[in-house]
Amino acid sequence: MKSKTEPSLDAPWALGEKKYNLILKALDNRRVEKIVEFGSGTSTVRLAQDYPRAEIVSFEHDRKFQQETTNLLKRFKVSNVCIHYRPLKVACFFPRLFLTYSLQENMLPRNLDFSLIDGPVERQTLRGREAVLYLIFPFLRVGALIALDDYHRKSEQAVVRNWLATYKNGLGVIQEYEDLVILEKTAHQLPTRFPGVSVLKDNWSITGILAIRTFHREKRKLNGTLNKWIRK
Ligand SMILES: C[S@@+](CC[C@H](N)C(=O)[O-])C[C@H]1O[C@@H](n2cnc3c(N)ncnc32)[C@H](O)[C@@H]1O
């Protein structure tokens, strides 16, 4: 606990105070009235406390953590947040596949000023963090900031490369830290469908790994069921 009035971000799985302060610094002197967050937790409470007039929407793929964050919001008497439970589903942005939050457009406020992308959890997804930008890009205003956590990972560095290739004229990196990156939407742009061989190779290799893992998991389940039947 940071204090009786603010939960600490220096806890396992949370963003961390240092990175959070870098984000606040980047947002200083900018309009912050609408925020969307992916991956709820302590950061949800802190954003709501620091931007009490903002409309905040947070997406969470795990019911348990949706409830935990809801309890945290109640404990700190914060009410300007809506947490949506959205399980992960396969999404196709032709010709690429992703496993990401199943968003509905009516859950997203228009003219978003800021997005914190800190979910889904890497091992449960297929470039889920990459896909959320494709989902929300039309809802971000020009000048909006996007913060992506865990930039020390090769996967998040690939995400940023893929984003920049997809929105060549609409996106730029404004701050790059070891484990956090902050980008700015610079123009409205439709996504480039064929952003280059390296982007497609990156996506298809990961899709292949996920398909093989899913196949083996389902095979194990089927074998288990068959064995039970045979023993009966
Ligand atoms: C990196 S966490 C999000 C943290 C949040 N943005 C924060 O800074 O407080 C990404 C996801 O991990 C899951 N998660 C959160 N706390 C967890 C915990 N203690 N153990 C396992 N998973 C957790 C939730 O599903 C969450 O959406």
pLDDT, tens digit, for every residue of 83-131?
Answer: 999 999 999 998 899 999 999 899 999 999 999 999 999 888 889 999 9
Q: Is the residue at 12 inside a domain?
A: no
The pLDDT value given to residue 217? 83
Tell me the mean pLDDT in the region 174-193. Answer: 96
Q: Look at residue 7 and tell me if it is in a domain.
A: no
Is the separation of the CB atoms in 135 and 111 below 8 Å?
Answer: no
Confidence category of residue 9, pLDDT binned at 50, 70, 90: very high
The structure tokens 């969307």 sit at: 36
Asked whether residue 193 is domain-assigned, the answer is: yes
| pLDDT value for 71 | 97
pLDDT score at 194? 87
Name which residue sits closest to atom 16 of ligand 1, judged by CA.
Answer: 13
Q: Across residues 63-76, what is the average pLDDT?
A: 97
What was the pLDDT predicted at 156? 97
- Whether omega for the bond prior to residue 12 falls within 30 degrees of 0, making it cis, is no
The pLDDT, as a whole number, for residue 212 is 86
How are the residues of the chain apportioned to helix, strand and coil, as percentages rounded to the nearest 5? 45, 25, 35
Q: Is 43 in the pocket of ligand 1 (CB under 6 A)?
A: yes
DSSP 8-state code for residue 191: P
Neighbours of 102 (CB within 10 A): 14
**Does 139 map to a domain?**
yes
pLDDT score, position 2: 57
Relative to the CA of 15, which ligand 1 atom is closest?
8
State the average pLDDT over residues 33-56: 98
Query: How many of the other CB atoms lie within 10 Å of CB of 127?
Result: 25
Using pLDDT thresholds of 50, 70 and 90, give the confidence band for residue 3.
low
pLDDT, tens only, 136-173: 999 999 999 999 999 999 999 999 999 999 999 999 99
Say if 8 falls within a structural domain: no
Q: Calculate the CA 94 to chain-centre distance.
A: 20
| Ligand 1 touching residue 215 (CB < 6 A) | no
Full domain range(s) for residue 69: 17-231
Spell out the residues 6+ positions from residue 167 whose beta carbon is closer than 8 angstroms to its own: 137, 185, 189, 191, 192
Check whether 20 has a pLDDT greater than 80: yes
In a domain, 165, yes or no: yes
> Could you tell me if residue 23 is inside a domain?
yes
In a domain, 217, yes or no: yes
CB atoms within 10 A of CB 223: 10
Closest CA to 35 of 62, 66, 19, 58: 58
pTM beyond 0.75: the answer is yes
> Is 1 a residue whose pLDDT tops 80?
no
How far from 126 is each of 102, 115, 212, 215, CA to CA, in Å? 13, 20, 13, 15
- Each residue's pLDDT tens digit, 188-207: 999 998 899 999 999 998 88
Q: Where residue 85 sits, what CATH number does that domain have?
A: 3.40.50.150
> What is the Å distance from ligand 1's center to 213 Cα?
23
Is 179 close to ligand 1, i.e. is its CB under 6 Å away?
A: no
166 in Cβ contact with 194 (< 8 Å): no
Structural domain count of the chain: 1
Within 8 A by CB and 6+ apart from 140, the residues are: 111, 112, 115, 146, 185
